[in-house]
Structures are given as structure tokens and as C-alpha cells.
Amino acid sequence: MPFTLSVVIPTYNRRATLGRCLESVFRQTRAVDQVIVVDDGSTDGTEDWIRSSFANINLVTQTNQGVSAARNTGIQTASSQWIAFLDSDDVWLPTKIEKQIALLKANPEYKICHTEEKWIFQGSEKKIPASYRKRNGWIFEHCLPVCAISPSTAVIHCDLFDTVGLFDENLPACEDYDLWLRITASYPVALVDEPLIEKHGGQPDQLSNQRGLDAYRIQALEKLLLTKSLNPAHRSLAIETLQSKCAILAKGAEKQGRAEEANRFRSISSQY
């Protein structure tokens, strides 16, 4: 059976960066089989611009529902065995898909693959903190502190979504953190150990700029623990991480005079 791959690009008012993003897809040394752009209610003319400039793109439009809903729409639209993601302000380097497909073909036991990346902040390359180092294999414990897989690096077999579910549309941020925990609890991850994307930052409305992201990570951990699907070792690690994050946020809230918020995080921690 041939290896087929769709790319899902969610976008909301990113016309200024979307052209650069799409050109990086079309410059791949191994072409993708389907390009899906999900316009999540843009008001900057994105829909008309794509229709007039990129006739070969599968454009899906919807009312603004957030990045998780947009990615889920793209997943449900995709017709390929494999799905790649690309945020509309990021860029793939030319050999990304070729190298990931080669690794996956050589290692058919893997159902997900990611790559190293470059961080570009307002046009200049930025050093990546050690905590964001990419890893391969059984990486659940490394996904607990921070989001250890960048969506724009990921290639995932469509079967995984049938098993672990889609992006959680109830999470306004850290929706990728939530998905990676569900996947890595049950599946090993392949890694192409070289930077194959540029992750661009500096946009004021990027989700990664939101303060208090650990509050959403705690929400994701609570949800995961409630499923009772983790093995004992993973459950212990998840509880340890949740309690640590709760303690840090409680201390910070108390220091700023937000006693009710501090007590809420302590209450969450005490349940485990």
C-alpha cells in the first residue's frame, strides 16, 4: 500500500504568514498528497485570498471555534493514512516530509514521528531551553513537564485518533500537551534528530504567549488521571507532576493575594 500523507493547517487571521507557510509545503522534496487549510472564521480576507491564489488546496471554512476544533475538522477531512500538522505561522524545511517518511517506512512499529526544530523570534534564531529537547521511544515522562512535541513537527497515523481521540476542544490552550500525553502513554515516538521546521514566535495573540499555561496542563492531567487508563508507573509520574504544578501555582496565587485560587490548586492536589 502506498504511503499517503495529508497536511492540516489551521488558520485564523494569519494571512500575513500563511503564504510563507504554504510555500514551505510546496517546496518539500517529497510532495504531500493533500493540503488542507481550515480557515477558522478569519476576518482578514484569508478565504478569498486562498481561493484565488491556491486552487489546489482543500480549503475548509468554519465559524471561529479555536485551534483544536480547526485541527479536528482537518483530521476528519483528511483522506490519507498519515496526517501532518503545520501551524500557519510556522515553516517546514524542504526535506522534512521526505526524512520522516523514510524513518517511518524503515520502522513500521511507529505510528507517530516528530523532528527537532529551530525557534525564530521576531526574525532571529533563539536558543531552545534544554527542557524542550526532543526525544524518541517511550517518552511519556518527558511529556509531563512541558509540551515535548511541537504540532508542526508531527506526522501521525490516522488510526491513533480512533484509539486516543482528537484534540480536546474544551481546552483553550495546551491542547497539544493533552494529546501527546494520551498518545505517549500507549505508543512510542520516532524522532528525526535534526531541525526540520522553523517555529516562529512573536505574534501577540499566539497561544504559547498566554500566562498560566500550567493551569491548563493541570486540567489535562486531571482528565488523564480520571480515565484510569495509565499503567501504575505512568499514573505515579502524572500525580507527582500535577501536585508539583499545583504547589507552584498555589504559592504564586497566595503571594499575590488570591487566596481562593491558591486554595483551589491545593484542593486539586489533595485529591491525589
pLDDT digits (tens, 9 = 90+) for 200-222: 986 555 554 445 899 999 999 99
Confidence (pLDDT) at 205: 52
Please report the sign of the dihedral spanned by the C-alpha atoms of residue 232, residue 233, residue 238, residue 243.
positive
Confidence (pLDDT) at 212: 82
Confidence (pLDDT) at 203: 57
Confidence (pLDDT) at 74: 98
Whether the CB-CB separation of 133 and 41 falls below 8 Å is answered with no
Run means of pLDDT, 10 residues per run, the chain, 272 residues:
94 96 98 98 96 94 97 98 97 98 97 97 90 94 96 98 97 96 98 96 54 90 94 97 97 96 97 94
DSSP string, the chain: ----EEEEEEESS-HHHHHHHHHHHHT-SS--SEEEEEEES-SSSHHHHHHHH-TTSEEEEE----HHHHHHHHHHH--SSEEEE--TT-EE-TTHHHHHHHHHHH-TT-SEEEEEEEEEETTEEEPPPGGG----BS-HHHHSSS--S-GGG-EEETHHHHHH----TT-SS-HHHHHHHHHHTT--BEEEEEEEEEEEE--TT-GGG-S-HHHHHHHHHHHHHHTT-S-HHHHHHHHHHHHHHHHHHHHHHHHTT-HHHHHHHHHHHHT-
Whether the CB-CB separation of 22 and 57 falls below 8 Å is answered with yes
Of 177, 68, 90, nearest to 132 by C-alpha is 177
122 to 87, 116, 119, 207, 248: CA distances (angstroms): 16, 20, 10, 16, 30
Could you read off the pLDDT of 47-65 as tens digits, one per residue?
A: 999 999 998 999 999 999 9
Confidence (pLDDT) at 194: 97
Confidence (pLDDT) at 226: 94
